[in-house]
Structures are given as structure tokens and as C-alpha cells.
Chain A
Amino acid sequence: MHQPYSQRLIGALGPAQARLLGGLALASLVALPIMHLLPESHALHVSAYTLTLAGKILCYAIVALAMDLVWGYTGLLSLGHGLFFALGGYGMGMYLMRQIGRDGNYQSDLPDFMVFLDWKTLPWYWQGTDSFVWSMLLVVLVPGLLALGFGWLAFRSRIKGVYFSIMTQALTFAAMLLFFRNETGFGGNNGFTDFKRILGFPVAAPATRAVLFLLTVLLLVLALYGGWKLTRSKFGRILTAVRDAESRLMFCGYNPLGYKLFIWVLSAVICGVAGALYVPQVGIINPSEMSPGNSIEIAIWVAVGGRGTLIGPLLGAGLINLAKSWFTVAFPEYWLFFLGFLFIAVTLFLPRGVMGLLTRKGAST
């Protein structure tokens, strides 16, 4: 039983205030990359570190939103969403590796790690990755088709609940082991790094960073708007019906398979695109992105922010990752304990997450 709390929050705040808050948040996100372009001596200059951190968190926020669509609204707890994010990242990473050209350490047409492995030609699945358009197709198609195949098998067999969660976890773990192997052809445990250019522009230049950041903001806004429209349509109500009473829905004449597949694939594709924006900003992609822990963390962002609220998961991803970047500097060894404690505390005391807290405050005033 989860209502759209975001709607209630807006009810408590009043639409004018909600619009003001949203506008302020958007304005500051647009201002950040512009401030990065100011000369370093300027008082308002934003460092590359800060911008990269903010861009990374925005990518995570998009993943949290995609997770909320399948978990918060449809009741499918995925513990493997990091896989779709990483696959999108690898798609972009392949293109960025090809863009290095002969500027690598070995001055070869092949990516450095292939030279190191003494490979003479590109593997077939690297063909065409020098084309930006083809690579972007891979970013969408690979997570999308994997989700389609996996989802079709799982939903057709009516696998639900904890069994579904365990299978998604196993899927990302298996993929991680596969990508760790050097022979797989994705750089083994080092993954891809040392990127030089994207579409010919230097990847670390302030202007490139600013554009990538703005694209991330754009994707976030689009995903939020799309998610908002979707969850308020009849389609969205049927998703909550799948979550709350799937057998009733079937006896109403709906086949849940198509509904689950649609939202599951959409969510995977959103994660893939977020991963593709993440890689050029952060400058590295490796198989640790597929580790089970990463995917569990995504679920924690959503739980902390508030399931089934769209806005909550964005807040959850933001708050936890800000806390993480501070914690891992100040008390690196305690971060996982803190994360575990946070998850337990939220489950016990804030079942509706930060959004539940906000709406309660909003309703009482």
C-alpha cells in the first residue's frame, strides 16, 4: 500500500511552493557546469572534482528512479540493476577506447589491453564501435535485450518475490565474473580508462565536462517527467495492481507479463543510458560496477528515499552518495557499517523513507 507520496507532498506544500523548489533545484544544477567554466581564480569557480562528483551522483539518481519504477511501483525488487548501468557504461567505454586511436601507450590501432594480450585483430563484437551512433545503439540495445530475455523467462515462469531478487543478483554476479576474465575482451579487472576524446573533443576539458553534465541533467528531467506521466496513467495504476494483487489483476483479464516486461526493459534502458553518461565523466569503467554490493546499494537509495514516489529515490541517491563521499574520506572503514545501520534504521523507523518523513511534517503543519 504505497500512495504516490510525491503527490501528497505537493498537496502539503502547495503547487506554487513545489514548483519553486523544483525550479531552484533545476537552476542550481544548470548553474553548476557554467560556474565550472569560470576561470579558476574566480570566487564562484566550481572545481572539476565537485562537478564530477555531482555528475556521478546525478547518474546514480537516474538509476534510482529507474529502480523505483520496477520496485516501488511494480513490486519487483531487482538486486542486479547495477548490471544494466555497467553494460551501458561499457558500451560508451568501447567507443571511448576507440577514440584514443594511436595515442595509447603502444601507439597501436587496437586498445592497449589488446596489445598487451598480444591480440592482432579486433574481436567481432568490437566491430563498428568506432562509430558513435552504433555505440549509442549498443548502450540502449544491450541492456534492453538482456532485460527482455531475462525478464521474459522469469515473468513467463511467474518467478516473484525473493526468488526473482536472488536471480537478478546471480545474473549481475555471473556477468561480473565474465567481465573479470581477460579473454572476454573488455579489459579484465582493469576495465577501460585513460580516455582521451569524445566525438573529437578532449574528454577532460571544462567545456566537455559542462556539456556532459548538462546532458545528465537533461536525462534526469526527461526520466522524471516520463516516470511522472507513466505512473499517473492507467498503465501506471496497473503496475501498482501487479504489485498489490497480481492474481486479482489476472482475473480482471490483464496478462501481467507484458506490463512487467515493458517496465522492466524501460528501467534497464534508462540505467544503460545513465551508465553511458557516467563513464566519460568519471573516466573509468570496470567490472566492480557489476558487483552485487553495488546493486544492493541502489535498492538502499530507493528505500531510504521512499519507494513509489519518484522524487524520493532521487533524494535517497543524493543523500547517501554525499554521505559516502564524506565518510570514505573521514572514516573509510566504517562506511559499510553505516550503510547497513542506515538500511535497518530506515526499514524499522521510516518504512516510507525520507519522503514519508517529509509528507508527515508537511501534513501536520
Chain B
Amino acid sequence: MLKTKYPTEPLKCWNKAKILRENYYRDFAEAHEKGGLRWAGGAWSFDAIPAGLGEDIYSLTGEPYGATVAFNDKFALECQEATEAEGFARDLCSYMRNYWGSILINKYAWPQFSKEFPKADFIWQDHICCSHSKWYQVASELEGGIPMFSIDVSVGPYEERTDHKINYIVGQMHDGIKWLEKVTGRDYDDELLIKAVKNEFRSCHYWSAICELNKAIPAPLDEKSMYSLYVLGTLRKSAQWTADFYEKELYPEVKDRVARGIAAVGNEKCRIMTDTQPPWAFLRIFRYLEHYGCVSVGSLYTFGLIGLWEVKEDGTWGAKSIPDIEITNRDEALRALTDWNLSKPEWQHFYHPKLKSEMMIRIAREWKLDGVFLHYNRGCEGLSLGIAENRLAIQKAGIPTMPFEGNMGDEREFDLERTMKRVDAFMESLGIEKVNIK
């Protein structure tokens, strides 16, 4: 094997991340056997709130589940065709179609844990994308009427938040807790809520801190690996196991990699970021990039879907500090949770693409990037929102872009060969030649 420019080594906590993910899907499937409850909802839902119902509450978040299905292209196709046969349009969110398809064919993406799709006891969702609440409105209907509660969080950019906007969200949360008590017949425990909120702060903070470490050259992590790590935050950001993993295992290890100059891509000579979810059935694109010594250090998507950020004193972007506040009751917990979530980077562009362009340009500069790959993702209207304007703004800032069209969850809408050719042309335009690697 050729000697690489930088040393590389596998992540020590890699297997732990895989186990945590598997446990999550197993726990959901087996929840009833343990006397627990199951809920379904989006990855952005306020999962800290149902946590107040007890320690035996297990969730299935739709987007990561849809991505899991997408990774298994045969299963995904089966799900998509079932959804289309039911009359739903093929251009709808592909995660959503994968999820509905799983219900329709009654198969779980983790057959080792359940042959059948485990039906949730209730739906707990939030709403910022047009498809969020409608996804679960349909899911509820397909499953014979699961009780559903959804919280509208689409109140505008973080910098424009006001008391009445916060009150609107917090009011819905309070209603939601009463609703949870009613549909589950359980008493709500505010201490568990407060604990979950604090866990969420830790998970989001440390995930950002980990991404921040990728400013280093060479980058200690590549985006393909990051997908398997950030996902824990999309499963249960308020869980102790997520927060502990990020804080006590992943963060110290990545910090150590930076200190020792361990690279994700041994021949790193080109750094890019992507945008929106990748086409999950074709993650080998990232391996192809390595032929050019090209590492994708992340994206606003991987950094900001769960990670929260703030401008530090020196003007650079860093992990948002964990709020230094005392939370003594339910209302305080809900207000803290609202304020925290409203600052989510991936929530800002829902109101204007310029907010996202500014963040992307900042990342391109601070993470010292050579270019940006923009996935015009037909599978997600929410994260593709404004992407064409982002392209124009990034180009105007002097940063080369490579748009490519695809679909995160529906392989029928992705042309691998054409995308590879685009990568070749883009690398040529950057003056980067292939590296001889094995």
C-alpha cells in the first residue's frame, strides 16, 4: 500500500455507535414486551417532552428510519411501490414514502427485531416543513388512527424571536403534555423532563464541538463516517446515552485525533462540504472522492441538523454553549427547550435562503474548503428549499460549487455515473488530479 500523506486509523468508538443505534431500533420493537410505550415522530420533534412519561418510553423517528430503509435499496423500492399503489405521488418526501411503505407492507427495516412494522401508541411530531404534520396525519390513518399531537415551530428566524412567538410554542407544549397524560393514562414527571432537556443541551453542544474539530487539517472525520455518528442525535437527542456518547467518548477521541494529526482521508488535499441529505443508497460517492484526496468535512446538514452553533468572541463559529440556567419547573424547561431549538441552523432557511447562504459561506471559509457540492435533493422539499439561491450566493462569494441532482431515499432518481462524471469535471476545474490509492 502507498504511504499516505497523513496517518489514519479507525474510530475506536465506531462499534459503540453502531450498537447504540441497533439498541434504539430493538427497544422500539420490543417496548411492549417490557411494559413500555412506543411513540413515532420526526427527528426534530421535542423528544425531551415524552421523556417525562417514564424511563420506558421508546421512539421511532421517521427521517432516520426513512434513511435506513433507503440504504437498503431493494426494501426501499418495495416500500415506495406500495406507497404509489396506494395513490401517493412519487415526488413526495422519500423518507415519508419509505416510512408509509413500511406500514403498508407491514415490514420493519430491522427484521431481526420484528418481522412486522411495530405500531406506535401515539404520534408526537413537530412542524416546520409542510410535510411534517401531514406525514403523520397520513401515517395515523394508514395505521387505523393513532392519536397524534404536533407542535408548530415555524415562527420565523431565531434572531426575530419574540415573547409571543415563544408563548405560542410553549402553549402548544403545555397542551401536548396534558394530551400525553390523557392518551397514555400516565402521570407526567417534570423531573424526567428537566433531565431530558439537559441531556439535549449536552447532545447538541457536543455534536457541534465534534464538528468544530473538523476545522483541523487534516480533518479527523469525513462526512460519510459522520452520518453514522450524528444519527444518534436524530434518534434521541434527549437521551442520556446520546449525550454521554458524544461528550464522553466521541468528543475526546476526535480531539485526540486532531492532536495526533490523524486524518479521515490519508491523502487529504482537497476539502469540500455537501448540502442536504446524501443519496443514501450511493454513499460510495464519498469513497470515490478519496481518489482525489478529497474529504467532505461535513455540511450545514450534518453540523446543524442537531448541532447548535453561535458566533464566538473571535468572530468564528463554535458550539453553542450549554445554557447556564437553573431549571426548576415545567414551564422553565419548556421555555429553555424552545429557545434552544429555535436557534437550530437548519431551521433558519425555512424563512429565507440568505440565512442559509451566510452560514454555508461561513463554513466554507472557516473550515477552509475548496468547494461545495449541492445535492439538489428531490426527496426533501424542506432542506432543498432555497438551494438554487444558495448556489448563486456561494458562487458570488467566490466559492466553487458543484450542483448535482438526486434523491436521498429513492434510488430511481439518482444517476451514479453522471454524478461521478460531474465530480471528475469539478475536480479538473479545481486543478486536482487523482491519487493512486488502493
A and B found bound together: no
Chain A residues engaging chain B, CB cutoff 8 angstroms:
none
Chain B residues engaging chain A, CB cutoff 8 angstroms:
none
